[in-house]
Structure 1
Amino acid sequence: MRSRPQQPARRNAVLRREAVVAAVPVALAALLTAAGPATAAGTAGAPGAGDPYFPLSGNGGYDVRHYDLTLGYDPATRHLDGRAVVTARTTRPLTRFDLDLDGLKVTGVTVDHRRAAFHRTGQELVVTPRRPLRAGREFRVTVDYGGTPRPVTDPDGSPDGWIPTDDGAFVAGEPQGAMTWFPANGHPTDKASFDFTLTVPRGRTAVANGILLGQRSHHGRTTFRWRQSEPMAAYLATATVGTFRVERYTTRDGVEVYNAVDPREAAEAAPVLGKLPSVLDWESGLFGPYPFRAAGAVVDRAPRVGYALETQTRPLYDAAPDLGTLVHESAHQWFGDSVSLTRWQDIWLNEGFATYAEWLYTEQHGGRSARQAFEALYATPAGKDLWAFPPADPGGGEHIFETPVYARGAMALHKVRTAVGDRAFFRILRAWAGGHRHGHGTTAAFERLCERESGKDLSGVFRTWLHTGGKPASP
């Protein structure tokens, strides 16, 4: 989520926010194989993955398997030095291909250790290897780059990407900020594993995703090595830098927890972070096993940000979170991180689910029921923001973090629950998270799953609550 509501769906500011099978789903395959103009020797990979909301996000013609990122950052000068080694496999013959990279100066590119030609076109780094790449071939592109990374401004006006702070950087990439600090195939359809080697001045901590492999100080600088083994969308990567207090422990289920907290936020954050193991236990009971080896949180002081984000395994908070935000971001580890989007139009599958997890947590911990939360929202007069557009079609990138995606998305789930009963509904949640684990989903696939698991025709529910704008005539 971009998380922080003024309204029930956005906690404290702006909430951001078929089964996995051997064959790639048709919609996903179309994105990954997208190509540009044909040539005698092959094709040029398309400069975008085909998403209508973010046309230049991602690239066509290849599938990234792994990112190996080596970064050095100096908060005093705000200078970043980087080397990215991207291992990928072509999905069609390629004479050239693109990577998403905004700003920063590229000083050299190689493909399979041979120097390659490159040029910049807006946010695209266009790479031409010495020889065309045949279809199905694994290749490795190395990009050396550096400069002062700057966040992008999203269509909703919020900052996204590498966001400087008074002691480092808050690095949050949804939906398009990954390209501000490393060259990427930036659309969520292309997930990969990651290694991070992050060097910062001694006394600072650099936090990334996954497991901390080690850290070492030398000549006034400290290098941190992180590994995210499970596949991850580029926008969920982080390399947040700051002066942090670090807490590490392992849960009873063997999940390695790493919390990094700005000392100025520590007192307020401690009671909430102390509930993280119990929140993950509760969510595992509802949604199925926790999908990653690592968990935790980064609590920074980043007043210009205005949101929290579900960075994979280790959500980012721009200030000490409340319990509802912790529950929301933790739920995203299943819904949004493990089960990823196929297109940004379907973001309600992330945010509606995480918002409904908040309702369920409150319901099962002595607070108001999900039905009461639904009824309170339904009382919102027609014409208000809640009813501005259907959650399954926000209409463009400027709307994907607005109230209908969160609150009305959660209302749609509650209507499914009411229609099918609790037993079938909670079976559906587990089947969705388990069947698409480390993969992708679409609204249509979720609708089919609901009808299959319940044995009911739910077309009326979906039409009214997911696909039609305005306030429904009856709750």
Structure 2
Amino acid sequence: MPRPARLVPAVASALALALTLTACGGGSARDKIGASGVSDPYFPKAGNGGYDVTHYALTLAYDSTSRRLTGTAEIEARAKQDLTSFNLDFKGMKVTVAEVDDAPARFHHSGHHELTIRPPDALDRNATFRTTVHYSGRPETITDPDGSREGWLRTADGALALGEPVGSMAWFPGNHHPSDKATYDITITVPEGLKAVSNGELRREETKRGRTIFAWRTAEPMATYLATVAIGEYDVRRSKTANGLPVYVAVDPDQSKASAKVLARIPEIMRWAEENFGPYPFSSTGAIVDRANDAGYALETQTRPVFPGAPDTALLVHELAHQWYGNSVTPASWRDMWLNEGFATYAEWLWQEDHGGDTAQATFDALYDHGENTYENLWAFPPASPTSAAHISGDPVYQRGAMLLHKIREATGDATFHDILRGWPTTHRHGNASTSDFTAYVEQQASDEDFSAIWDDWLYGSGKPDHA
């Protein structure tokens, strides 16, 4: 006779969750459950359905000796459907209490990805509500599909939180997909002598009884992957740009001397960027410079990009350009990553062109003629269609993305292209946009041009395109 079927772990987990919710009084046909993912083409379980977050208030305390993080997340949201339960992305740490609108809520947390919360009373569509989650533990470091490390990175003197693409779920529960942006208050308590640096503006710094509290506020919408916390010993430099924009720079003392000259160019780069990309979309700027081995890459964390060691000018230009392309106008899904990286890479080309280096045309020609010598996978896939999650930060996304923008410039001429550079982040300021949104925008701005060959060959086409 047939052997009894054995429950695979995923089925067993789903059954356990169903039994948990049934025991909580749920499981009926009337249940309205928010989806546990938004079906992103590369990270289908990232994000959650059924609600839209408007604000995160994170209160964190980090013990650098035990490396434990204690947190309270207050998440303000609006229900997009009737909800009897909903999910938050959260990995690793232990959840002790969950509340909805100050009332205790039942919850289930596997520890692997999903935190499912069942409010005591069903939420009506369009209702606003506040979820509070208390948690603690040692946050995890997550290995991305491409092998890079994100999440909560331990450093010699503290920690560094980096979130692209899904690492932020290692240190706070939330709706961790770029399509759901929110404002933030992040308050971090650390041992006296350490600093805690985050996004936005520092609202309060207070030391008492051997601990220092740093309270940061981000008043403009931000995707969760752009949130950061850097804890450690930092030299802090405050200044302003010519038009009064606050500049807050935090540098590991080990990198202070090496980075001083390039970081002093932030006001100059910001002035140039505003001329090319339009008004700066945020209320402060700056940088965080850690040691080279603390993270293996730079990241455009909002208002305050993170660098692994002292950056050169090109990398600083790249990450500051992201504040327009990626941070203010944010991709609708991870398939649209080239809208971040293609623009930021092309910003490097433009800076070089405007400051006595190669023209963008010369850079394009060199890439076309022998770029595969430097970027082995340059022609492996089109920028708008990475072959897998491991390739969303691949060479074609950056380099071919920039080459596509240059083809648009060739077709439209400099004046119209300049209007596109400025108009695109202005049109979608603090919002989300997809590749199809971009192609429609370009066609609208240059309605007398036929871009079909450019889209077919440079945006979606496989292999090395023909180039006259």
Asked if 1:183 corresponds to 2:176, the answer is no
Residue matched to 1:119: 108
Residue matched to 1:30: none
Residue matched to 2:289: 299
Please list every run of 5 or more consecutive structure 2 residues that lacks an aligned counterpart in the other structure: 1-25
Give the C-alpha shift of residue 381 in structure 1. 7.0
Distance 1:134 1:202, change over 3 A: same
Give the C-alpha shift of residue 39 in structure 1. 5.4
Asked if 1:103 corresponds to 2:92, the answer is yes
SS of the residue corresponding to residue 468 of structure 1 reads coil
Equivalent of residue 441 in structure 2, options 435, 440, 449: 449
Give the C-alpha shift of residue 441 in structure 1. 1.0
Do the aligned residues in 2 keep the contact of 1:94 with 1:133 (CA within 8 Å)?
yes
Give the C-alpha shift of residue 112 in structure 1. 0.5
User: What is the TM-score with the length of structure 1 in the denominator?
Assistant: 0.91
Q: What letter corresponds to residue 464 of structure 1 in structure 2?
A: D
Q: What letter corresponds to residue 47 of structure 1 in structure 2?
A: S
Asked if 1:426 corresponds to 2:418, the answer is yes
CA–CA distance in structure 1, aligned partners of residues 28 and 245 of structure 2: 49
Residue matched to 1:156: 146
Encode CA deviations 1:85-134: one digit per residue, 9 max, x unaligned. Answer: 00000000001000011000101000000100001132000001111111
SS of the residue corresponding to residue 187 of structure 2 reads strand
Residue matched to 2:51: 62
Distance 1:331 1:38, change over 3 A: farther
Residue matched to 2:352: 362
SS of the residue corresponding to residue 356 of structure 2 reads coil
Residue matched to 1:467: 460
Asked if 1:208 corresponds to 2:191, the answer is no
Encode CA deviations 1:2-45: one digit per residue, 9 max, x unaligned. Answer: xxxxxxxxxxxxxxxxxxxxxxxxxxxxxxxxxxx995445101
Q: What letter corresponds to residue 397 of structure 1 in structure 2?
A: A
Distance 1:272 1:400, change over 3 A: same
CA–CA distance in structure 2, aligned partners of residues 461 and 89 of structure 1: 40
Residue matched to 1:239: 229
Give the C-alpha shift of residue 256 in structure 1. 1.4
CA–CA distance in structure 1, aligned partners of residues 205 and 219 of structure 2: 18
Do the aligned residues in 2 keep the contact of 1:38 with 1:44 (CA within 8 Å)?
no
Residue matched to 2:82: 93
Do the aligned residues in 1 keep the contact of 2:240 with 2:267 (CA within 8 Å)?
no
Residue matched to 1:313: 303
SS of the residue corresponding to residue 385 of structure 1 reads coil
SS of the residue corresponding to residue 66 of structure 1 reads strand
Residue matched to 2:16: none
Encode CA deviations 1:256-312: one digit per residue, 9 max, x unaligned. Answer: 111000010011111110000110110100110000001000001150521000000
Q: Which moved more, 1:206-215 or 1:253-262?
A: 253-262
Count of residues in Structure 1 that have an aligned counterpart in Structure 2: 439
Report the RMSD for the aligned CA atoms in angstroms.
1.4
Equivalent of residue 183 in structure 2, options 176, 187, 193: 193
Asked if 1:50 corresponds to 2:39, the answer is yes
Do the aligned residues in 2 keep the contact of 1:200 with 1:223 (CA within 8 Å)?
yes
Asked if 1:325 corresponds to 2:318, the answer is no
SS of the residue corresponding to residue 222 of structure 1 reads strand
Residue matched to 1:399: 391
Equivalent of residue 239 in structure 2, options 249, 267, 272: 249
Larger radius of gyration: 2
CA–CA distance in structure 1, aligned partners of residues 273 and 78 of structure 2: 35
Asked if 1:265 corresponds to 2:281, the answer is no
CA–CA distance in structure 2, aligned partners of residues 375 and 75 of structure 1: 50
Identity %: 51
Distance 1:194 1:382, change over 3 A: closer
SS of the residue corresponding to residue 84 of structure 2 reads strand
CA–CA distance in structure 2, aligned partners of residues 396 and 57 of structure 1: 15
Give the C-alpha shift of residue 454 in structure 1. 1.3
The 4+ residue runs of structure 1 with deviation greater than 6 A are none
Give the C-alpha shift of residue 254 in structure 1. 2.5
CA–CA distance in structure 2, aligned partners of residues 467 and 75 of structure 1: 47
Q: What letter corresponds to residue 56 of structure 1 in structure 2?
A: K
Q: What letter corresponds to residue 82 of structure 1 in structure 2?
A: G
Please list every run of 5 or more consecutive structure 1 residues that lacks an aligned counterpart in the other structure: 1-36
1:5-44 to 2 correspondences below 5 Å: 40-44=29-33
Do the aligned residues in 2 keep the contact of 1:41 with 1:132 (CA within 8 Å)?
no
Q: What letter corresponds to residue 405 of structure 1 in structure 2?
A: V
Q: What letter corresponds to residue 458 of structure 2 in structure 1?
A: W
